Amino acid sequence: MLAEAEPRNLQQLQEQLDAALNKCEDEQCFPDGPNSDFSVTRVPPHDDFTIDWIYIIDLDRNTFHVNGQPFFLLDNLPDPYTFVAVISEDSYKAQACSVECPAKFQYNWKVPPPAVDESVLARYHDLSSGDTAVSMGTMLSLHDHLTDNESVRVGLIEVLIGQCITNQALSVAFKEFESFADHREIEPYYWSIACLVANLPFNTYALGREPDPSDRLSVTELVWVRRDTCVHITTHLDDEKNLQGSVVRLVDEVMKCPNKDAVVFGVAFSIYHCVIVRINRLAGGSFTHTPALQFLLSFFATSPSTEGITALVRLAHRPDPDIMQRYLRACPFLNLDETSPQDIRKDDNSLPVPLSSQNDCINTTQVGYLPTEIWQKIALLMDVDDLVSLGHVSRSCRGASLAVMHLPHVRQCRLEKVIAQRVYCAVFAAKKGDIDVQVRVGDIVPRYWARIKVPGKQVEGALHLPVQVPTDPAMEAVPSTMTYV
């Protein structure tokens, strides 16, 4: 029936399939038994390893799926020979339509960009401060080449993005995201996934932690990932007018917020592209921004790197005075030493600060003065959880703790160098205290594990990351756990 359908005659095809399914249900004539080669159901089977092939006829999106992945236009299927020949694998070992498949057969969920009001475009030109498309190095006053710490952090995020693509639910959601014509049409399920991906570079300190079930996101125009940095989920950043409209929307929302920082960074994010915006609040919202940078990797990528990942990591790599507070929020189960001074002031907007120098016990005669550099050498030998406790001791200790916490860590291991990397996995040289270890992140296995290799033995443990992927897109997005290597 499908092979004989005329192109663009989807309505007739839908009526024929509906009639056939209803007849089968009424007469109980589904070929579903131990001697059957195939069966027909309205609900796809799950966790059945005896099934080699699952075909889904998606009338809503005019798409024919193979084993959960979109392949062909439903109203223009290829002939049987081409059908079999183009079933291939992408770079993430998932079944995918071969790049040799003629475009006329391939599904296409990307919708044209929406029109942008001329008043919005005029406001864009009024607010722009001359050079609108600047490099990330120019915007942050950094060298174009990456530092060693930035290179390691970029490698880690690249692998985590690759691991997201290896997850079938997420990879399909990425493809479905292109079907939204406007940011107002983005459903909460897909909005949550976009927030998850955009937040990865800012959340590396939480890797290895179970997600907090109470940490649920609600759809908003802005998500603040740092005190001076926010994310706006949008669409069609590869279209110049829609890019300008998204930047204006982001700037207007930032100016409404009671933020005390003179300069705020915003990220317009559409999963496939990102635009970094530097907003001067004191100049009435004047801004500069980067061009639209590719963020998501191609499903047939041979390199894990994109300009968007590197730019977002460099933005997140700036010194963060609130990192300790955010680490505590990500790890609410972490108990500080009960013997810590009781008169340490805490609030939501600043780090714990001793009320007087008399309480700065490290600088008293009980221990004697030690330079911050010495405390930093000590901090490099400590686990991240212990760094939080150390940071509550004194101002000198806090400076050393913050400097070390700013370095990329995975499961209490401080990553120092990328040894080898593919699009979905990498091996890092790391330190666990003063012990040299190797940490493997990412793999294509039934479960994804973090393997920490210590001379003479190997320690394995699951590396968890908060992910919002409901089983049904119609359900409210709730946090679940994805395991990464």
Could you read off the pLDDT of 283-337 as tens digits, one per residue? 888 999 999 999 998 888 888 999 999 999 999 988 877 776 766 665 544 444 4
Tokens coding 26: 């009424």
Contact assessment for residue 321 and residue 351, using Cβ atoms and an 8 Å cutoff:
yes
Locate the domains of the chain by residue range.
10-97, 118-320, 324-405
Averaging pLDDT over each range in 32-36, 72-76, 211-215, which range is the top one?
72-76
pTM here is 0.76
The model's pLDDT over 374-394, given as tens digits with 9 standing for 90+, comes to: 888 888 888 777 887 787 777
Query: What average pLDDT does the structure give for the chain?
Result: 75
Residue type, 258: P
Q: Residues 418-431: pLDDT tens digits?
A: 998 888 888 899 88
Number of other residues whose CB lies within 10 A of the CB of residue 433? 12
**Does the CA dihedral 72-76-78-80 come out positive or negative?**
positive
- The model's pLDDT over 2-27, given as tens digits with 9 standing for 90+, comes to 544 444 466 776 777 777 677 766 66
**Contacting residues for 455 by C-beta, under 8 A, at least 6 apart:** 435, 436
pLDDT value for 470: 30
pLDDT for 89 equals 86
- pLDDT per residue as tens digits for the range 238-263: 999 999 999 999 999 999 988 778 89
Q: Which residues contact 156 (CB under 8 A, 6 or more apart)?
A: 204, 408, 410, 415, 426, 428, 441
**pLDDT value at position 47?**
57
Rounded-to-integer distance, Cα 458 and Cα 456, Å: 7
